[in-house]
């Protein structure tokens, strides 16, 4: 990232607590302000509280059903 024209470091909001974090190599946990905020965010992903929107993934039963249907539809040679 580039620095603004006034030579002050770019600052971003911590995704967890919204505290301003300077975007510098010294900011070890950027974009988070601290290890605590970083771990809270990771825990939310692991707990599936955070999700990327989109279609649900297929489970094994859906895949087995599709494979069985494909076998029925395949012409015999």
Tell whether 4 is in a known binding site: no
| Residues 20 and 30 sit within 8 Å (Cβ to Cβ) | no
Tell whether 17 is in a known binding site: yes
Fill in the DSSP letter of residue 1. Answer: -
What's the confidence (pLDDT) of residue 1? 47
Tell whether 58 is in a known binding site: no
CATH of the domain at 19: 3.30.50.10
Is 54 inside any structural domain?
no
Tell whether 13 is in a known binding site: no
pLDDT tens across 9-57, in order?
899 999 999 999 999 999 999 999 999 999 999 999 898 888 788 877 7
Tokens representing 71 are 């076998």
Tokens representing 70 are 């494909």
**Structural domain boundaries, residue 36:** 8-49
- Section 55-75 average pLDDT: 77
d(CA 24, CA 15): 16
């Amino acid at each position: 990232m580039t620095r603004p024209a006034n030579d002050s470091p770019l600052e971003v909001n911590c995704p967890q607590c919204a505290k301003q974090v300077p975007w510098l190599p010294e900011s070890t946990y950027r974009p988070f302000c601290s290890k605590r905020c970083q771990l809270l965010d990771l825990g939310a992903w692991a707990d599936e509280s955070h999700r990327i929107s989109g279609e649900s993934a297929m489970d094994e039963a859906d895949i087995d059903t599709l494979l069985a249907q494909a076998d029925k539809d395949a012409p015999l040679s």
